[in-house]
């Protein structure tokens, strides 16, 4: 028990192993070469085989981890289908490889498929002047602007080419896997049209990255949609989830441990974002600030360019949300850098 959450499986599965979280649903982990060093994948009983939910990134280490799983705990049963929750590389990275290798249909949301395809077709598209200018106009330094602008190439290094076709999952769909019936939910904010699956009968929520036990999922504004309000969409999705899903559901998330306490955690996440907004309002009350100047107010540790690019994009998500709520307004630009003030 921690923060009101209950973790029924306090130890995660070792690489190459699985934990049966309920009969017919296996939890495995794939390594990630980041500070967040793993992603959860789930194998769901699908009659004569396993449906796979999420894949890990498209590198040799993850391929090898899949080989170990397939030769070990998954041996003797085929893979049937591949479900991908969202287009981030830790979830969709090996979708192409797995689907080709095992002839699996890919089930995902349209936005996940097209989002991945878009970057894959044109990884350099983000490195264009309108996007660079957007970051510079908000006060981001040249080095970090470069990191954000070339992120498409980094993405592509972690993602294998998608299969040419997919089966679309839409919110409100019913998906039958083996004997289980899942309702398809989607949520925005962390990634557009992120897929979640809920088995009402057994009170099981495959929550992807929408609700994690101990970290607040990244919510970012990107230059391609400069006035986007993903934080508003994220908060809306959290509220919808707490209405639709019972409080005592077992949450099977994309990272960290499965847990009970969905409504508690949703409350904490909403509070976390409210606190950040309050801190931003405080600092913008005395003098106009740029988005870049707000970053150290929200993120206290030193950040490398990669972390800074995410921190900056998350600050912008708060800024756009607060502009939308009328809590901030734009002030005068200084040296071409936009500044905002609290109302």
Whole-number minimum distance, CB 254 to Zn ion, in Å? 5
Question: Residue 139 or residue 192: which is nearer to Zn ion going by CB?
Answer: 192
Q: Given the DSSP bridges, would you call strands 167-168 and 174-177 parallel, antiparallel or unpaired?
A: unpaired
Stretch touching Zn ion by CB under 5 A, among 111-119, 165-173, 205-213, 275-283: 205-213
Our finding on whether 314 is near Zn ion (CB under 5 A) is no
Considering only the stretches 115-123, 161-169, 202-210, 285-293, report the one whose residues sit in contact with Zn ion under the rule CB under 5 A: 202-210
56 touches Zn ion (CB under 5 A)? no
Q: According to CB under 5 A, which residues from 282 to 301 bind Zn ion?
A: none
Answer for which of 46, 90, 193, 229 binds Zn ion (CB under 5 A) is: 90
Size, binding site for Zn ion by CB under 5 A: 4
Q: Which is nearer to Zn ion, 87 or 135 (CB)?
A: 87
Min dist. Cβ of residue 201 to Zn ion (A):
27
CA–CA dist 22, 8 (Å, integer)? 11
Give min distance, CB of 208 to Zn ion, in A: 7
- Of residues 190 and 338, the one with the C-beta less far from Zn ion: 190
- Encode burial over 269-281: b for 16+ CB neighbours within 10 A, e otherwise: beeebeebbeebb
- For the CA atoms of 67, 73, 75, 76, what is the dihedral angle to 10 degrees? -170
Of 209 and 327, which CB lies nearer to Zn ion in the complex structure? 209
CB 213 within 8 A of CB 257: yes
Rounded least distance, CB 242 to Zn ion, Å: 20
Q: Are 294 and 313 in contact (CB under 8 A)?
A: no
Stretch that binds Zn ion, among 120-128, 180-188, 206-214, 224-232 (CB under 5 A): 206-214
Interaction of residue 188 with Zn ion, rule CB under 5 A: no
The nearer residue to Zn ion, 179 or 225, going by C-beta atoms, is 225
209 binds Zn ion (CB under 5 A): yes
Stretch binding Zn ion (CB under 5 A), from 19-27, 90-98, 268-276, 318-326: 90-98
Name which of 283, 299, 292 is nearest 137 in CA terms: 292
State the minimum distance, in angstroms, from the CB of residue 253 to Zn ion: 9
Is residue 88 involved in binding Zn ion (CB under 5 A)? yes
Residues 224-263: x where in contact with Zn ion by CB under 5 A, - otherwise, as a string? ------------------------------x---------
Least distance between Zn ion and beta carbon 190 (Å): 6
* Residues of the shown chain interacting with Zn ion in the complex, contacts defined by CB under 5 A: 88, 90, 209, 254
């Amino acid at each position: 028990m921690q923060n009101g959450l209950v973790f029924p499986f306090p130890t995660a599965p070792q690489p190459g192993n699985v934990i049966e979280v309920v009969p017919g649903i296996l939890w495995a982990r794939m390594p990630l070469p980041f500070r967040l060093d793993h992603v959860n994948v789930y194998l769901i009983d699908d009659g004569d085989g396993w449906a796979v939910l999420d894949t890990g990134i498209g590198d040799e280490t993850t391929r090898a981890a899949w080989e170990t799983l397939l030769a070990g705990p998954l041996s003797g049963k085929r893979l049937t289908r591949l479900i991908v929750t969202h287009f981030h590389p830790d979830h969709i990275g090996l979708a192409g490889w797995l689907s080709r290798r095992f002839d699996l249909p890919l089930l995902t949301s349209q936005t996940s498929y097209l989002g991945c395809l878009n970057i894959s077709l044109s990884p350099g598209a983000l490195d264009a002047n309108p996007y660079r200018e957007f970051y510079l106009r908000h006060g981001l330094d040249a080095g970090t602007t470069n990191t954000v602008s070339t992120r498409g190439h980094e993405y592509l290094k972690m993602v294998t080419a998608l299969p040419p076709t997919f089966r679309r999952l839409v919110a409100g769909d019913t998906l039958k896997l083996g004997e289980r019936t899942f309702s398809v939910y989607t949520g925005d904010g962390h990634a557009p049209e992120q897929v979640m699956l809920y088995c009402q009968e057994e009170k099981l929520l495959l929550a992807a990255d929408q609700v994690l036990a101990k970290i607040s999922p990244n919510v970012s504004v990107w230059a391609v949609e400069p006035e986007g309000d993903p934080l508003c969409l994220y908060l809306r999705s959290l509220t919808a989830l707490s209405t639709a899903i019972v409080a005592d559901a077992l949450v099977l998330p994309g990272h960290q441990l499965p847990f009970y306490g969905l409504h508690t955690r949703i409350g904490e996440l909403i509070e976390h974002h409210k606190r950040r907004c309050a801190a931003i309002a405080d600092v913008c009350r005395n003098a106009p600030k740029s988005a870049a100047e707000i970053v150290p107010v929200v993120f206290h540790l030193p950040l490398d360019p990669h972390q800074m690019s995410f921190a900056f994009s998350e600050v912008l998500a708060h800024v756009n949300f607060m502009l939308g709520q009328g809590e901030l307004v734009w002030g005068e630009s200084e040296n071409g850098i936009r500044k905002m003030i609290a109302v």
